[in-house]
A and B are shown apart, each in its own frame.
Chain A
Amino acid sequence: MTHTLHRSGTQESLSRDYPILVIAAQSVNAKDSGPQFKKALEIILKHNPVNVGDMRTGNYFRKGLKPVLNNTKDNSIAHGVFTNKKDLEECLKELADAKLGPSVVATGLFSEVWDSLKKIGLKPHSVNISLGVWGKKELLPDQEILDITTMCGHHCVSPLLVKKMVSDVKRDKTSIEEASRELAKPCVCGVFNTLRAEKLLENLINRS
């Protein structure tokens, strides 16, 4: 379940992409942790996330905010996505100060995330590094499509849907913002970065 690890893209594009997750260990501190996830989501919401979600319920764009906030469970995994370091730092600082119990994982360029942690007096504990894609790579969708679809690590956002959204925007059937939100809906966890997707869609539209 490495759902925010393998996000592809240029460094410039990834520098606007900071998903975080909050998770309890089922064998250690999960018991009665459900309410803590609600508190974590409330903290995340104070810092301008472009998406939030709970893996047990769904994401903001499909479920709405109340169901996500009010259905947290002991095995919830709460998520939020930030598009700049300032919001990331302030959120992580508040989560650390709240001492909720569950673990917190921040995804993003290592240099940027670690710099943020240093600024707020935290040290990285463990890391998950991606060595990229191995095997029969000729089966993969185009890289420009993957830069969008890998923002849903469980790959519930279909490459065909990206193409459809590009086509719909070009034909004025929808806006880039709406297209990005539609792409975010199948990503159950709420880790799809809609602002980054808008830029990537724009690139695809300009090039096609």
Chain B
Amino acid sequence: MIITESCVGCTRCVPYCPAGAISLGKDKKAHIDRHKCIECAVCFNNAGCPVNSFQLEELEFPRSVREVFATVYKAHKDTNVPGRGTEEMKTNDVTGRFRPGMVGFSCDMGRPGVGLELKDAEKLCMALAKHGVEFEPLNPLTSLMSDKKTGKLRDDVLGERVHSCIPEFTINEERFPEVLEALKEVSKEINTVFSLGLCVKINEDGSVPIMKYLDDNKIPYYPGGKTNIGIGVPLAKF
């Protein structure tokens, strides 16, 4: 994203930037901090610039990675899914991706509202890979890995700043405490935040597999979340 010379310095756009990348310069025109900018186009689409000063750029790799992780309405080329590119449990009733006895993890890195450099995503992925987790292949972050076994990302994307990305993987339920501990440790080493989500198939008797462990170990979780209501067609066989 760039702001052209036509800017009149009204500052209308400044508060719209979710990354806080726009400010008024000494020349009384708005400027975008190229390092902070996550290429989400929120300014372009919503700020209502009175002189149409914003201009979309044709981004080249690796900067184009920023747009991939920030532009919600575009579908990802590898998964055909808009947003940040994964379906996770939303379609579990028809895909059967999260089966009984399995726990899906989604580490929503940079969220809420902090952002991250991809080197922090690599740090988290490499820490998890040491515990043998396998990253979801249909996820845009996994496609940036040069080594999916170690969680190493391509060197040329490590300095790119993104709004958020989601390391995503599934493990057997019995390994849940070990992986949670690994996440706790790596959370002390990263220069950002992540919102942690767990996906599970609900038992036939209506109980939720992982909740008892969370309750017994006093691990806090939000009282609300997402429930797949099981009306997709055709239903997966479990």
Query: Are A2 and B112 neighbours in the complex by a CB distance under 8 Å?
Result: no
- What are the interface flags for B203-217 relative to A under an 8 Å C-beta threshold, 1 for contact and 0 otherwise? 000101011001000
Known contacts A160-B15, A186-B42: does B93 contact A126 (CB below 8 Å)?
yes
- Please, how many angstroms separate the alpha-carbon atoms of A123 and B16 in the complex? 41
Give the residues from 200 to 231 in chain B that come closer than 8 angstroms, CB to CB, to chain A.
Answer: 200-202, 206, 208, 210-211, 214, 219-231
Which of B111, B198, B222, B229 is within 8 Å of A104, CB to CB?
B229
Task: Please give, as numbers and ranges, the residues of chain B lying within 8 Å of A107 by CB-CB distance.
Answer: 224-227
B169 within 8 A of A: no
- Please, how many angstroms separate the alpha-carbon atoms of A10 and B158 in the complex? 37
Query: Are A103 and B90 neighbours in the complex by a CB distance under 8 Å?
Result: yes
B114 within 8 A of A: yes
Interface residues on B, range: 35 or more
- What are the interface flags for B177-201 relative to A under an 8 Å C-beta threshold, 1 for contact and 0 otherwise? 0000001100110111111111111
- Please, how many angstroms separate the alpha-carbon atoms of A75 and B40 in the complex? 20
Task: Please give, as numbers and ranges, the residues of chain B lying within 8 Å of A129 by CB-CB distance.
Answer: 197-200, 208, 210-211, 214, 221-222, 225
Give the residues from 42 to 96 in chain B that come closer than 8 angstroms, CB to CB, to chain A.
Answer: 42, 45-46, 70, 72-73, 75, 79-95
B224 (CB) vs chain A CBs: closest residue: A109
Give the residues from 111 to 159 in chain A that come closer than 8 angstroms, CB to CB, to chain B.
Answer: 111, 113-114, 117, 122-137, 139-141, 146, 149-150, 153-159
B128 within 8 A of A: no
Interface-side segment among A51-59, A170-178, A194-202: A51-59
Within the complex, what minimum Cβ distance (angstroms) separates A70 from chain B? 15
B9 within 8 A of A: no
Query: Are B226 and A106 neighbours in the complex by a CB distance under 8 Å?
Result: yes
B14 within 8 A of A: yes
- Please, how many angstroms separate the alpha-carbon atoms of A135 and B81 in the complex? 28
A27 (CB) vs chain B CBs: closest residue: B95
Query: Are B222 and A130 neighbours in the complex by a CB distance under 8 Å?
Result: yes
Highest count of chain B CB atoms <10 Å: which of A14, A23, A95:
A23
Query: Are B210 and A75 neighbours in the complex by a CB distance under 8 Å?
Result: no
A109 (CB) vs chain B CBs: closest residue: B224
Please classify the interface of chain B as helix (H, G, I), strand (E, B), loop, or mixed, using the class held by over half of its residues.
Answer: loop
Task: Please give, as numbers and ranges, the residues of chain A lying within 8 Å of B230 by CB-CB distance.
Answer: 122-126
Which of A21, A99, A127 is within 8 Å of B208, CB to CB?
A127
- Please, how many angstroms separate the alpha-carbon atoms of A114 and B89 in the complex? 17
Which of B15, B206, B220, B228 is within 8 Å of A131, CB to CB?
B220
Task: Please give, as numbers and ranges, the residues of chain A lying within 8 Å of B134 by CB-CB distance.
Answer: none
Within the complex, what minimum Cβ distance (angstroms) separates B180 from chain A? 8
Which of A124, A153, A156 is within 8 Å of B202, CB to CB?
A124
A5 within 8 A of B: yes
Known contacts A107-B226, A128-B88, A155-B18: does B112 contact A150 (CB below 8 Å)?
yes
- Please, how many angstroms separate the alpha-carbon atoms of A55 and B166 in the complex? 18
B135 within 8 A of A: no
**Told that A110-B227, A134-B193 touch, could you supply 8 new A-B pairs with CB distance under 8 A?**
A1-B90, A2-B106, A17-B224, A55-B72, A101-B233, A103-B91, A129-B214, A154-B84
Interfacial residues, chain A to chain B (CB-CB below 8 A): 1-8, 11, 14, 17, 21, 23-30, 55-58, 62, 75, 77, 92, 95-96, 99-111, 113-114, 117, 122-137, 139-141, 146, 149-150, 153-161, 163-164, 185-186, 188-189
Interfacial residues, chain B to chain A (CB-CB below 8 A): 14-18, 20, 40, 42, 45-46, 70, 72-73, 75, 79-95, 98, 106, 108, 111-114, 163-164, 166, 183-184, 187-188, 190-202, 206, 208, 210-211, 214, 219-234, 236
What are 30 A-B pairs at a CB distance below 8 A?
A5-B225, A14-B224, A28-B94, A62-B45, A75-B80, A96-B229, A100-B233, A104-B231, A105-B227, A106-B227, A107-B227, A110-B224, A114-B227, A117-B229, A127-B228, A128-B198, A128-B199, A131-B214, A132-B221, A134-B187, A134-B196, A135-B190, A140-B113, A141-B113, A154-B84, A157-B18, A158-B17, A159-B18, A185-B46, A188-B73
